Amino acid sequence: MRIVFFGTPEFAVTTLEKLIITDNHEIIAVVTQPDKKRGRGSQMIPSPVKQVALKNGLPIWQPSRIKKDQETLQRLKDSQADVFVVVAYGQILSSEILAIPKFGCVNVHGSILPEYRGAAPIQWSLFDGKKETGITTMLMNEGMDTGDMLLKSYTPINLFTNFNDLSVQLANQGADLLLETLEKISLGQLTPIPQNDTKATYARLISKEDYTIDWSKSALEIHNQIRGFYPNCVTIFRGQNLKITQSLPLGEIENLELPPQFQKLPNYLQGINEISGNVGEIVKTIKNFGFVVQTGNGLLLILEVQLAGKKLQSAWSFINGTRLEVGESLISEVS
């Protein structure tokens, strides 16, 4: 197929790379978001998708508002594309654009539709504690992820999976499912299936407020927030912002098959259920693991942190470096 690829973040890169190396597809052009200022020097940095396109010598189009950009619209019309492939592009396509390619616009979406339509499906599925998610390919329409579904691929989520882990897994899964989808479209083997709108849920954009840890919530809820919004969840320790990037709700480990690095942890938890404190209080330290915080319901073991202006480190190194003591507290409000 002749393909115009639309995508911007790292999640879209795997699909683009797999399309590039397949012999039976031709990438006519790559459409991605304009370069943005990033980092301390405020340098203009190209999107991850643009960086891959540059390395492979592909034509790159970067309209700031694709619905209003007549030059890009004409290029798309002139492309004679069989299909537009869209993976986390970041702009809404007009009905005029959607109608251009022969086989329509195929989107790779990071959830099992109609659940988690919207901008951040991977993050919110983790936040909600889902035990399964996946990828859906669909034919796009003018709605927000409301188009007819083509293929689905499922994957389980365990309690140790964070946003970064799941994004990488789903990016690979999505790339493979997209290739299968294109093959079956070309052979006329797919029948689009309408979504059941009554079962739809929405994954809204994440705001800065979502990163603040509320220690009055349960240990499991806070853990899901930490891994869902990795690596951005934050609290206050001794007046400074402290990011919490890895945790484990101790009330859940009896039901878990622990990874090798946690095999010895139960040996340190004898009598743990008899310990309690105020919400946000550090009630115990565990050698080589980290520190335990009292939540609104249950105890949360903190395993990895990053103090403002410092590097990411294990919670045990943090304990030693700050001389943290049992009885200190973490505060919900952040600056």
Which residues are annotated binding-site positions for (6S)-5,6,7,8-tetrahydrofolate? 111-114
CB 34 within 8 A of CB 59: no
Q: Using CA atoms, how far apart are residues 318 and 195, in angstroms rounded to an integer?
A: 48
In the annotated binding site, the residues are 111-114
CB 10 within 8 A of CB 47: no
Which has the closest alpha carbon to 67: 85, 92, 36, 101? 92
Q: Vertex 218, ends 216 and 219: CA angle to 5°?
A: 115
- Residue that the structure tokens 């943005």 belong to: 36
Q: Using CA atoms, how far apart are residues 33 and 11, in angstroms rounded to an integer?
A: 14
- Residue that the structure tokens 């009905």 belong to: 95
Q: Vertex 129, ends 318 and 89: CA angle to 5°?
A: 90
Helix 48-55 vs helix 10-21: crossing angle, to nearest 10: 20
Which has the closest alpha carbon to 151: 104, 183, 103? 183
For residue 51, give the 3-state DSSP assignment: helix
- β-strand pairing of 60-61 with 26-31: parallel
Number of Cβ within a 10 Å radius of residue 41: 8
Q: Using CA atoms, how far apart are residues 289 and 259, in angstroms rounded to an integer?
A: 13
| Residue positions counted in the chain | 335
Residue 95 neighbours by CB under 8 Å, 6+ apart: 142
Handedness of CA 163, 166, 167, 168 (dihedral sign): positive
CB 83 within 8 A of CB 168: no
